[in-house]
Chain A
């Protein structure tokens, strides 16, 4: 049985255990470092499933209800109905070193045409969505048209984000933007050809002709 308990970690991360199994697994979890580490990663994956379902705007009064109730309570006095044990220590995940472009998807051009430049690039047959770390990515069409979708905060007024297309060690300025709440959708002003890297740096206001800082985000070479 003991060996079998490990195998419950995925079902536990998905909340797919019945109460008895859950208790059994939580007892095991308290003593098993390996399962705690594994659970941390699998929970991230399970929570990502929440993002695969279309978000829906809740009725506006729901926020009011939550805030009123929250204000009327002193925090941290009411325990959770069911205490969920979280891994006390999560393995620090290795930083992602970008060796080659991580292509998240290749679109067949089935998307409807749209005024949104990001969607419009993805609507071209054979376009790719390339990861740029945790901030988002860049959509690249076969003809080199590219649009960034990055969730980066607004820069200080004396700074700007600058996009670059880097090819053969040569960086070409490809647009300035300031960032905003949510995602910034930014057209890359230079074509992104095969073997190019798209990167973004923080530069003094007005931009630079060559990067003066280490890239904040970068794609791998686009194939």
Chain B
């Protein structure tokens, strides 16, 4: 077939001349608007990614108030530094969620230092699937979960404990009673394989320009 998939160039969405209908704006153009201090664009980005961001922060921090702090700090960081994103060639969702993850991990480590020990590894949340979850998100979730299932168990465990548990590789080695080198190679092999699987699925192509 050799079809090259293209970004849709469908014109004439309901936007009109006010430019205030942002629902159809791409993530990239929203970030450009945010870089120009457009708070409506920030609100729209929050509508798109706030639920994923909060779900992630909650899984890492297991505390609603801390999770809200992490999301708030992250979106304010987006607001303050959106102009820096323009030079990057990452996907906006990746950029935003990387910031959210970082904030949540910083907070969880601060908590641990206060308590003097690592929190137990984050379990899979038991909450039932939300019925009103958008189909796109549901679809992405299935794809990533399927890709995760295809990883060898010990690689999946290293990724999950690291990413959702906020553990450093050294903490992970200690907790699992494995040499640091083993943990490093599991993380590397696991994340590389996950990237391959997701690339094959077409889910994480780079931004079309």
Contacts and interface: CB of A to CB of B under 8 A. Distances in A.
A156 interface: yes
Contacts of B43: 63, 67
A74 B94 CA distance: 25
A40 B130 contact: no
Bin the interface of chain B by size.
Answer: 35 or more
B117 interface: no
Interface string B104-140: 0110000000000000000001010110011111011
B30 interface: no
A208 to B, nearest CB: 16
Contacts of B68: 58-59, 62
A15 B101 contact: yes
Contact of A153 (B24, B56, B97, B146): B24
A218 B5 contact: yes
B187 A50 contact: no
A6 to B, nearest CB: 9
Bin the interface of chain A by size.
Answer: 35 or more
A44 B195 contact: yes
A220 interface: yes
A200 B63 CA distance: 44
B95 to A, nearest CB: 8
A133 B5 contact: yes
A51 B187 contact: no
A142 B166 CA distance: 41
Contact of A67 (B24, B42, B52, B55): B42
Of A15, A105, A159, A202, most buried by chain B (CB within 10 Å of CB) is A15
A43 interface: yes
B130 A55 contact: yes
A75 B134 contact: no
A160 to B, nearest CB: 10
Contact of B14 (A129, A154, A183): A154
A56 B164 CA distance: 15
Contacts of B163: 14-16, 46, 49
B147 to A, nearest CB: 8
B51 A58 contact: yes
Interface string B172-209: 10000000000011011011101100111111111000
A55 B52 contact: yes
Of B24, B53, B68, B169, most buried by chain A (CB within 10 Å of CB) is B169
B133 A54 contact: yes
A48 B164 CA distance: 12
B10 A153 contact: yes
Interface in A56-88: 56-59, 62-63, 65-67, 69-71, 73-82, 84, 86-88
Contact of B77 (A21, A80, A155, A156): A80
Of A46, A214, A218, most buried by chain B (CB within 10 Å of CB) is A46
Interface of B: 1-6, 8, 10-14, 23-24, 34-35, 37, 39, 42-43, 46, 50-56, 58-59, 64, 68, 71-72, 75-77, 79-84, 87-91, 93-95, 97-102, 105-106, 125, 127, 129-130, 133-137, 139-148, 159-160, 162-164, 166-170, 172, 184-185, 187-188, 190-192, 194-195, 198-206
19 contacts: A11-B162, A15-B102, A42-B192, A43-B90, A45-B191, A45-B195, A51-B52, A51-B144, A53-B125, A55-B133, A58-B51, A70-B42, A89-B89, A93-B205, A95-B4, A102-B200, A129-B139, A155-B10, A218-B5
Given A55-B137, A154-B24, A155-B12, 10 more contacts: A11-B187, A14-B191, A18-B168, A45-B204, A47-B93, A47-B97, A55-B54, A93-B205, A98-B2, A132-B5
